[in-house]
Structure 1
Amino acid sequence: MARIIDSNEKNLIGSNLKILRKQKKMSQQELSDKLETLAIYICRGSISRIEDKSRTVTDIELYGLSKVLGVSIDSLFEYPIE
């Protein structure tokens, strides 16, 4: 039986994360730095991999991303964000 992480896309939020980050005029490094203030450590390279869906995202990372971007966790999953 195939597991979800066996697919090419390892998360559902990558595209929306990139859109929301750019709407906030925030670089990947700035997002990483703001997450660090919440004791959530995602390096710039990992944010890039989340955005291109080649990295999974943990529940605490989802929480931090939603807080830093000022959106609900649900909105990270909405399709499509414009």
Structure 2
Amino acid sequence: MKLILDSKERNVAGPRIKIARLKSKLTQQELSAKLETLAVYVDRASISKIEQQKRIITDMELVAFSKILKVSVDWLLGIDK
């Protein structure tokens, strides 16, 4: 099945993940290692792509980012300002 998107942005949470990561003073590599403790395997390069909105995020990844970065899923999605 081919994925059809109207824009080049592959996710809405990427920029907020970057904001929360920087507030937590984590590098992309450190964030990757913390995600691995939750059995979510996202390497540093993929985190970079997510933050640049060039890679899709799964629901399980989104929840893991939320837990590690201590922000709500709603905030990551831009629902909760």
Q: TM-score, normalised by structure 2?
A: 0.89
Asked if structure 1 preserves the Cα contact closer than 8 Å seen for 2:35 and 2:65, the reply is yes
Structure 1 runs (4+) deviating above 2 angstroms are none
Correspondence list, 1:1-82, <5 A: 3-4=4-5, 7-78=7-78
1:17-51 Cα offsets, whole Å, 9 max, x none, are 11110000000000000000000000000000000
Return the letter of the residue paired with 2:27: S
Asked if structure 1 preserves the Cα contact closer than 8 Å seen for 2:12 and 2:78, the reply is no
Name stretches of at least 5 consecutive residues in structure 2 with no aligned partner: none
Name stretches of at least 5 consecutive residues in structure 1 with no aligned partner: none
Instruction: Give the share of equivalent positions with the same residue, in percent.
Output: 50
Aligned residue pairs: how many? 79
Q: TM-score, normalised by structure 1?
A: 0.88
Give the CA RMSD over aligned residues. 1.9
